[in-house]
Amino acid sequence: MSLGLNEKGSYSTKRLRDQKLWRRLRWCCYVRDRMIAIGTRKPMHFADDQVRIPALSLDDFDLETPSTAMTRIQDAFTMIDYDCRVALAKMFMAKVKLLSTVGRVLEKLYLLRSIRGPNTGPRMFYNPKVSNFDLEGFLKRANELDE
Protein backbone atom coordinates (compact mmCIF):
# COMPACT_ATOMS: atom_id res chain seq x y z
CA MET A 1 0.00 0.00 0.00
CA SER A 2 2.88 2.36 0.70
CA LEU A 3 4.01 1.86 -2.92
CA GLY A 4 0.58 2.89 -4.13
CA LEU A 5 -0.28 -0.43 -5.76
CA ASN A 6 -3.89 -0.04 -4.67
CA GLU A 7 -4.19 3.45 -6.21
CA LYS A 8 -4.48 3.62 -9.98
CA GLY A 9 -3.21 7.21 -9.99
CA SER A 10 0.17 6.19 -8.56
CA TYR A 11 1.12 4.27 -11.69
CA SER A 12 -1.13 5.75 -14.38
CA THR A 13 1.79 7.70 -15.87
CA LYS A 14 3.89 4.57 -16.39
CA ARG A 15 4.09 2.61 -19.64
CA LEU A 16 1.07 0.39 -20.34
CA ARG A 17 3.13 -2.76 -19.81
CA ASP A 18 4.27 -1.49 -16.38
CA GLN A 19 0.72 -0.52 -15.44
CA LYS A 20 -0.44 -4.07 -16.14
CA LEU A 21 2.45 -5.45 -14.10
CA TRP A 22 1.61 -3.19 -11.14
CA ARG A 23 -2.03 -4.26 -11.29
CA ARG A 24 -1.04 -7.94 -11.29
CA LEU A 25 1.37 -7.36 -8.41
CA ARG A 26 -1.34 -5.64 -6.40
CA TRP A 27 -3.76 -8.53 -6.92
CA CYS A 28 -1.01 -11.05 -6.11
CA CYS A 29 -0.49 -9.26 -2.78
CA TYR A 30 -4.25 -9.37 -2.19
CA VAL A 31 -4.39 -13.11 -2.90
CA ARG A 32 -1.38 -13.81 -0.69
CA ASP A 33 -2.88 -11.79 2.16
CA ARG A 34 -6.20 -13.64 1.95
CA MET A 35 -4.54 -17.06 1.73
CA ILE A 36 -2.43 -16.37 4.82
CA ALA A 37 -5.42 -14.97 6.74
CA ILE A 38 -7.54 -18.01 5.91
CA GLY A 39 -4.78 -20.50 6.63
CA THR A 40 -3.72 -19.02 9.95
CA ARG A 41 -7.04 -17.54 11.18
CA LYS A 42 -5.30 -14.19 11.47
CA PRO A 43 -6.57 -10.81 10.28
CA MET A 44 -6.62 -9.76 6.65
CA HIS A 45 -4.50 -6.70 5.95
CA PHE A 46 -6.30 -5.65 2.74
CA ALA A 47 -9.94 -4.78 3.25
CA ASP A 48 -12.20 -4.79 0.21
CA ASP A 49 -13.02 -1.12 0.73
CA GLN A 50 -9.31 -0.33 0.31
CA VAL A 51 -9.30 -1.76 -3.22
CA ARG A 52 -9.41 1.27 -5.50
CA ILE A 53 -8.52 -0.42 -8.76
CA PRO A 54 -10.84 -2.46 -10.96
CA ALA A 55 -10.73 -6.23 -11.06
CA LEU A 56 -8.25 -7.89 -13.39
CA SER A 57 -9.17 -8.68 -16.98
CA LEU A 58 -7.42 -10.79 -19.59
CA ASP A 59 -5.93 -7.58 -21.00
CA ASP A 60 -3.87 -7.23 -17.80
CA PHE A 61 -1.94 -10.44 -18.46
CA ASP A 62 1.04 -10.94 -20.76
CA LEU A 63 -0.32 -13.72 -22.94
CA GLU A 64 2.33 -13.61 -25.64
CA THR A 65 4.81 -16.47 -25.76
CA PRO A 66 7.87 -15.31 -23.83
CA SER A 67 11.20 -15.36 -25.58
CA THR A 68 13.89 -16.68 -23.31
CA ALA A 69 17.14 -18.56 -23.46
CA MET A 70 16.27 -20.69 -20.42
CA THR A 71 15.61 -24.20 -21.73
CA ARG A 72 13.40 -25.21 -18.80
CA ILE A 73 10.96 -22.43 -19.65
CA GLN A 74 11.15 -23.18 -23.37
CA ASP A 75 10.00 -26.74 -22.69
CA ALA A 76 7.22 -25.79 -20.26
CA PHE A 77 3.82 -26.49 -21.80
CA THR A 78 2.15 -23.73 -19.80
CA MET A 79 4.58 -21.20 -21.26
CA ILE A 80 4.27 -22.40 -24.86
CA ASP A 81 0.53 -23.00 -25.21
CA TYR A 82 -1.57 -19.83 -25.55
CA ASP A 83 -4.79 -21.51 -24.43
CA CYS A 84 -3.05 -22.75 -21.28
CA ARG A 85 -1.82 -19.24 -20.44
CA VAL A 86 -5.34 -17.87 -20.94
CA ALA A 87 -6.78 -20.63 -18.72
CA LEU A 88 -4.23 -19.83 -15.99
CA ALA A 89 -5.11 -16.13 -16.16
CA LYS A 90 -8.83 -16.95 -15.89
CA MET A 91 -8.14 -19.25 -12.94
CA PHE A 92 -6.25 -16.47 -11.18
CA MET A 93 -9.11 -14.02 -11.75
CA ALA A 94 -11.55 -16.61 -10.38
CA LYS A 95 -9.28 -17.12 -7.37
CA VAL A 96 -9.34 -13.37 -6.64
CA LYS A 97 -13.14 -13.39 -6.82
CA LEU A 98 -13.38 -16.47 -4.57
CA LEU A 99 -11.01 -15.05 -1.97
CA SER A 100 -12.93 -11.77 -1.96
CA THR A 101 -16.11 -13.73 -1.24
CA VAL A 102 -14.39 -15.76 1.48
CA GLY A 103 -13.19 -12.48 3.02
CA ARG A 104 -16.78 -11.24 3.18
CA VAL A 105 -17.78 -14.55 4.80
CA LEU A 106 -15.09 -14.13 7.44
CA GLU A 107 -16.18 -10.57 8.17
CA LYS A 108 -19.86 -11.54 8.42
CA LEU A 109 -19.64 -14.81 10.36
CA TYR A 110 -16.47 -14.44 12.41
CA LEU A 111 -15.31 -12.03 15.08
CA LEU A 112 -11.75 -10.80 15.27
CA ARG A 113 -10.52 -11.28 18.83
CA SER A 114 -7.32 -10.50 20.64
CA ILE A 115 -5.80 -13.37 22.60
CA ARG A 116 -2.85 -12.88 24.92
CA GLY A 117 -0.39 -15.74 25.25
CA PRO A 118 1.69 -16.46 28.37
CA ASN A 119 5.01 -15.50 26.75
CA THR A 120 3.82 -13.27 23.92
CA GLY A 121 1.91 -10.10 23.35
CA PRO A 122 -1.67 -10.04 22.12
CA ARG A 123 -2.50 -11.87 18.89
CA MET A 124 -5.55 -11.45 16.70
CA PHE A 125 -7.59 -14.48 15.63
CA TYR A 126 -10.95 -15.12 13.98
CA ASN A 127 -13.50 -16.92 16.15
CA PRO A 128 -17.03 -17.88 15.05
CA LYS A 129 -19.77 -15.48 16.10
CA VAL A 130 -22.03 -17.35 18.50
CA SER A 131 -24.34 -14.54 19.59
CA ASN A 132 -26.44 -12.46 17.20
CA PHE A 133 -26.02 -15.00 14.40
CA ASP A 134 -27.35 -13.47 11.18
CA LEU A 135 -29.06 -16.27 9.23
CA GLU A 136 -29.96 -13.98 6.32
CA GLY A 137 -26.35 -12.81 6.00
CA PHE A 138 -25.18 -16.42 6.21
CA LEU A 139 -27.51 -17.50 3.40
CA LYS A 140 -26.43 -14.56 1.25
CA ARG A 141 -22.74 -15.47 1.67
CA ALA A 142 -23.52 -19.16 1.03
CA ASN A 143 -25.18 -18.16 -2.27
CA GLU A 144 -22.13 -16.07 -3.20
CA LEU A 145 -19.88 -19.07 -2.59
CA ASP A 146 -22.19 -21.31 -4.62
CA GLU A 147 -21.94 -18.89 -7.55
pLDDT of 94: 94
* CA–centroid distance for 11 within its chain: 20
What's residue 2's pLDDT?
A: 62
| DSSP output for 48-95 | GGG--SPPP-GGGS--SPPP-S-HHHHT-HHHH-HHHHHHHHHHHHHH
Report yes or no on 128 lying in a domain.
yes
Domain contains 118: yes
Q: Does residue 2 lie within any of the structural domains?
A: no
Residue 104 lies in a domain: yes
| 118 contacts 92 by C-beta, under 8 angstroms | no
In a domain, 98, yes or no: yes
pLDDT at 6 over 80: no
Number of domains, the chain = 1
Residue 103 domain-assigned (yes or no): yes
Question: Crossing angle of helices 135-146/82-109, nearest 10°?
Answer: 170
The pLDDT tens digits of the residues spanning 81-133 come to: 788 889 999 999 999 999 988 888 877 777 777 777 666 666 667 777 777 76
- 3 in a structural domain: no
**34 or 10, which is more confident?**
34
* Amino acid at the residue 71: T
More confident residue, 77 or 30: 30
| Parent domain of 84 | 8-146
Instruction: Say how far apart CA 97 and CA 103 lie, in whole Å.
Output: 10
Report which of residues 147 and 27 the model is more confident about: 27
Residue from 50, 79, 84, 48 nearest 65 by CA: 79
Q: What is the pTM of this model?
A: 0.75
The more confidently predicted of residues 9 and 26 is 26
Instruction: Tell me what pLDDT residue 35 has.
Output: 92
Q: What Rg do the C-alpha atoms of the chain give, in angstroms?
A: 19
Amino acid 22: pLDDT: 84
For residues 14 and 50, what is the distance between their CA atoms, to the nearest angstrom?
Answer: 22
pLDDT digits (tens, 9 = 90+) for 23-64: 888 899 899 999 998 888 778 888 777 777 788 899 989 887
CB neighbourhood size of 30 (10 A): 23
